[in-house]
Structure 1
Amino acid sequence: MDFLEGSVFIYLFIFLGKILEVTVATVRVVLINRGEREKGAVIAFFEILLWLFITGTVLAGFQEDIIRVIVFAIAFAVGNYLGSWLEEKLAFGLSSIQVIVPEGEVSDELVKTLRSNDYAVTILKGSGKDGVRDLMVLHLMRKRIPTAVSLIKSSLNNAVIIVNDVKVAHGGYIKK
């Protein structure tokens, strides 16, 4: 990177490169944690190339130019933020939603609404502080969570809604 030495472009290279590297690393970790090992491994190859170039550029001249270290650290923080934001937008993987509602007509209507929107719903009976409850369990792609929660809230605004990540699911009905 000698051609960048002595110019403001070295800081821009470090800043943008580190943001990209950390963002990619965040997505890689999420993919691996969700069982997408092959995709994670491919991303890891590009991540380590970025890391070597960026970190090498910082280490090569940090004693004479401490601003490189500061730019590197700021970009690391920004990359973490952007990586988590990107992962949320991509919404890889599966989730489970549990909905606790009073048993009865309102519960039946909610099940019909969810099923008519291609959500698989399993209903269990339970007992709560205020009486018999229906516990609805939905397994779905994470991208579909906002729509499902919106449907639930519009049908029954006092429903208890719990969302969990699911690592692996076998069988059943999950609309992609």
Structure 2
Amino acid sequence: MDWLLLFKIFGINLVYIMLNTIRTLLVMKGYRRVAPFIAVVEVIIYTLGLSIVIQYLSNPVYLVAYATGFGVGIYLGILIEDRLALGYSVIQIFSQSADHTLPNALRERGYGVTIQPGYGRDGDRLVLTVLTPRANELTLRNTIDEIDEKAFYISYDARYIHGGFWSKRVNKPLIKRAAKKDKAQEEIVVEEIPDKKTYIED
């Protein structure tokens, strides 16, 4: 068995499926101009890999390597797209708090917040709609949990954004600065020991 050929078959299909997965996810998120260029590379890699496998169909080991590359390629494609965090997310928040502490805090951090009145089983609610870059979604969720731990929220992808309101309200530089500030505060650890003395470690 040719190990070099085995890894070549595995690698070719891995790259092909990885690109295919990324292209599909990009199309779903509205990045349709990039997808055709990725598709061209896909076809070239696919044709190359398939031509090699067809020559060695009598050996099931190469077929297994081809199929394994398929599975690993899907996983890596999803992982890469998740790391890139392209696009925007919309988070809808249902807060039991009647005051505007949460929306005001989010606006101070650069997020655009739309407020609507709502009514739940146990009384009035504030319904907040927030648009955020996907790269900052986790930071936003952590901020919500910190300010209003009883809040219920739903997150979903924003495929198309029309009009100037959202683009003007989403202040990316301010969001990044607020995220860095919150992270710096989390790095200060307060530890209490038995003699009731408090130590602060950076």
Structure 1 residue 140 displacement after superposition: 2.0
1:43 to 38, 41, 44: 38
Deviates most, 11-20 or 129-138: 11-20
2:90 to 85, 96, 107: 96
Letter in 2 for 1:118: G
Unaligned runs of 5+ in 2: 173-202
1:133 to 125, 128, 132: 125
Alignment correspondent of 1:68: 62
Structure 1 residue 44 displacement after superposition: 0.7
Alignment correspondent of 2:198: none
1:85 to 58, 79, 90: 79
Using structure 2 for the length normalisation, give the TM-score.
0.79
Structure 1 residue 110 displacement after superposition: 1.2
Unaligned runs of 5+ in 1: 1-5
The C-alpha deviation readout for 1:41-62, integer Å capped at 9, x for no partner, is 1111111111111111111211
1:174 to 157, 164, 170: 170
Using structure 1 for the length normalisation, give the TM-score.
0.90
Q: Is 1:160–2:152 an aligned residue pair?
A: yes
8 Å contact 2:98–2:124 — kept in the other structure?
Answer: no
Structure 1 residue 149 displacement after superposition: 0.5
Give me the whole-angstrom Cα distance separating, in 1, the residues matched to 2:149 and 2:93. 11
Letter in 2 for 1:49: I
Q: Is 1:147–2:139 an aligned residue pair?
A: yes
The C-alpha deviation readout for 1:16-67, integer Å capped at 9, x for no partner, is 121111111111011112221110011111111111111111112112x111
Q: Is 1:117–2:109 an aligned residue pair?
A: yes
Percentage identity across paired residues of the two chains: 27
Give me the whole-angstrom Cα distance separating, in 1, the residues matched to 2:112 and 2:83. 23
Alignment correspondent of 2:191: none
Give me the whole-angstrom Cα distance separating, in 1, the residues matched to 2:4 and 2:108. 55
SS at match of 2:118: strand
Give me the whole-angstrom Cα distance separating, in 1, the residues matched to 2:97 and 2:150. 13
Give me the whole-angstrom Cα distance separating, in 1, the residues matched to 2:8 and 2:115. 54
Give me the whole-angstrom Cα distance separating, in 2, the residues matched to 1:125 and 1:103. 11
Higher relative contact order (CA 8 A, sep 6+): 1
2:51 to 49, 56, 73: 56
User: Following TM superposition, where does structure 1 have runs of at least 4 consecutive aligned residues deviating by more than 2 angstroms?
Assistant: 173-176
SS at match of 1:38: coil
Give me the whole-angstrom Cα distance separating, in 2, the residues matched to 1:161 and 1:56. 50
Structure 1 residue 7 displacement after superposition: 2.3
Alignment correspondent of 1:3: none
SS at match of 2:111: coil
